[in-house]
């Protein structure tokens, strides 16, 4: 923000031929700084974040953080152009799987010394959350959110369907879903589905990774090797295809947003989602409860939704130091609990006592299952192509294509992307 390039009448200037030269720090540190902070927390969480920012601004006299609230999508649309011209924010928050590409391309500042500093309050961060800000061993940001995907279920529909206990395994899960699927007019298209399992663009892209983990499979190993073409994943796809297509426990051809809407409309008894499902349910007058995704044959695990914030190259040295000060403040004991309660996400630090967040029922239930969360594609720079390949795989698999072929194809595409 502070980089004022003087290139007036620069249409002919060769300096413009190449993209902005990145940061040109002033070299001084510790002086007054005004930081711009872009984030996409537009709901109640945004108010809580603003409160923390205001407290920070009031806590000292040198640094002022100004927030600019956008949608997550528009941050992604505008960040590149703004940063390339030195007009970007100093701090930016983004979905965690978007961070590696920005870090890899040189848009973000590494925070190694910040993490090494005891006063940064980073020592007890959830390891999975930290994995999502690491690229090739270097840390580039701090997490602002990390929560495993969970099952949000409509308690009224459970009661009406006579399901009294939440399923613990896949088989029980499918059985419960069948019991909750209602096709009153018998036309083969249920009016109410037991569960809604989107086959592409799933919530935070995490549904199918979660199912793969459950059977002991994975997508990428160590950030460099594609491992999607495995017998475990083949079995997972077969299993869920049978449940979705043959048993009709879920509609097909739906995406994550559609799934949220269907659940919000009371037409599905269960959905896989993030903490906001609780407020969607409340808005629609649906009584809902939260449970962990049932255990697969191999293990119980869930892909996590992550949000991270980072310092950009548009911040000069002074602004960097100021941003780190803000991060440490954001992660301190008091704010770690306050942010969790206010955002409805579990605490980012493992040493926040459970009592501190018990007052929010959603946070309490999510904190209980927080251990199940696995970072999605940590350190993978080209997550765009990898996730597109997973989407195509699951969508085609549900549509009935040959699973072995699809996996081989996905394996190749993903390996190329890596």
Q: Which residues bind another protein (CB under 8 A)?
A: 4-5, 7-8, 10-11, 16-22, 40-43, 45, 68-74, 76-78, 80-88, 101-102, 105-107, 200-201, 203, 253-257, 260-262, 264-265, 267, 273-274, 276-277, 280, 313, 382, 384-385, 388, 391-392, 395-396
* Contact assessment for residue 372 and residue 292, using Cβ atoms and an 8 Å cutoff: yes
Q: Report CA dihedral (112, 118, 122, 124) to the nearest 10 degrees.
A: 130
Structure tokens at 301: 């695990």
* Contact assessment for residue 346 and residue 366, using Cβ atoms and an 8 Å cutoff: yes
* Contact assessment for residue 166 and residue 308, using Cβ atoms and an 8 Å cutoff: no
Structure tokens at 241: 């295809």
**Distance of closest approach, residue 307 Cβ to another protein, in angstroms:** 10
**Distance of closest approach, residue 327 Cβ to another protein, in angstroms:** 21
Residue number with CB closer to another protein (68 or 287):
68
Residues 6+ apart with CB under 8 A from 331: 120, 121, 122, 125, 142, 348, 349
**Distance of closest approach, residue 92 Cβ to another protein, in angstroms:** 11
Residue number with CB closer to another protein (71 or 358):
71
Residue number with CB closer to another protein (223 or 297):
223
**Distance of closest approach, residue 217 Cβ to another protein, in angstroms:** 22
**Distance of closest approach, residue 105 Cβ to another protein, in angstroms:** 4
**Distance of closest approach, residue 148 Cβ to another protein, in angstroms:** 16
**Distance of closest approach, residue 140 Cβ to another protein, in angstroms:** 13
Distance CA 418, CA 211 (A): 22
Structure tokens at 390: 């997973």
Residue number with CB closer to another protein (76 or 317):
76
**Distance of closest approach, residue 43 Cβ to another protein, in angstroms:** 6
Residue number with CB closer to another protein (361 or 384):
384
**Distance of closest approach, residue 119 Cβ to another protein, in angstroms:** 29
Residue number with CB closer to another protein (60 or 66):
66
Residue number with CB closer to another protein (201 or 227):
201
Residue number with CB closer to another protein (108 or 211):
108
Residue number with CB closer to another protein (92 or 180):
92
Structure tokens at 290: 């939260």
**Distance of closest approach, residue 322 Cβ to another protein, in angstroms:** 20
Residue number with CB closer to another protein (174 or 386):
386
Q: For the chain, what is the largest distance between any 2 Cα atoms, rounded to a whole number of angstroms?
A: 74
């Amino acid at each position: 923000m502070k980089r004022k390039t003087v290139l007036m009448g620069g249409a002919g200037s060769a300096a413009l031929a190449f993209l902005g030269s990145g940061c040109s720090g002033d070299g001084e540190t510790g002086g007054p700084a005004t930081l711009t902070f872009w984030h996409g927390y537009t709901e109640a969480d945004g108010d809580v974040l603003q409160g923390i920012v205001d407290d920070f601004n009031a806590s000292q006299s040198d640094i002022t953080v100004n927030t600019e609230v956008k949608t997550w999508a528009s941050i992604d649309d505008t960040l590149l152009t703004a940063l390339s011209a030195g007009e970007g924010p100093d701090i930016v928050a983004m979905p965690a799987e978007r961070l590696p590409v920005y870090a890899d391309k040189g848009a973000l500042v590494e925070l190694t010394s910040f993490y090494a500093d005891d006063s940064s309050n980073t020592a007890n961060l959830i390891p999975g959350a930290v994995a999502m800000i690491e690229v090739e061993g270097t840390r580039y940001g701090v997490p602002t959110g990390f929560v495993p995907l969970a099952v949000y279920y409509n308690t009224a529909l459970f009661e009406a369907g006579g399901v009294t206990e939440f399923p613990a395994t896949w088989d029980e899960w499918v059985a419960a879903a069948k019991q909750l699927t209602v096709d009153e007019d018998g036309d083969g298209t249920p009016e109410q589905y037991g569960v809604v399992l989107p086959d592409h663009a799933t919530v935070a892209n995490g549904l199918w990774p979660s199912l793969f983990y459950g059977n002991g499979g994975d997508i990428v190993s160590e950030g460099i090797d594609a491992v999607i073409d495995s017998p475990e994943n083949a079995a997972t796809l077969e299993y869920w295809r049978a449940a979705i297509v043959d048993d009709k426990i879920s509609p097909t051809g739906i995406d994550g947003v559609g799934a949220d809407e269907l659940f919000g409309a009371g037409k599905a008894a269960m959905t896989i989602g993030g903490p906001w499902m609780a407020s969607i349910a409340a808005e629609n007058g649906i009584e809902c409860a939260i449970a962990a995704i049932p255990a697969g044959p191999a293990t119980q695990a869930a892909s996590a939704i992550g949000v991270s914030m980072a310092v950009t190259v548009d911040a000069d040295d002074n602004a960097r130091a100021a941003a780190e000060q803000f991060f440490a403040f954001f992660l301190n004991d008091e704010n770690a609990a306050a942010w969790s309660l206010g955002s409805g996400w579990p605490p980012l630090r493992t040493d926040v006592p459970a009592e501190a967040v018990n007052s929010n029922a959603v946070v309490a239930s999510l904190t209980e299952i927080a251990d199940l969360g696995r970072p999605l594609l940590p350190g993978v720079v080209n997550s765009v192509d990898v996730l597109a390949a997973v989407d195509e795989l699951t969508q085609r698999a549900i549509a009935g294509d040959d699973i072995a072929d699809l996996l081989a194809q996905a394996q190749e595409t993903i390996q190329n992307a890596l």
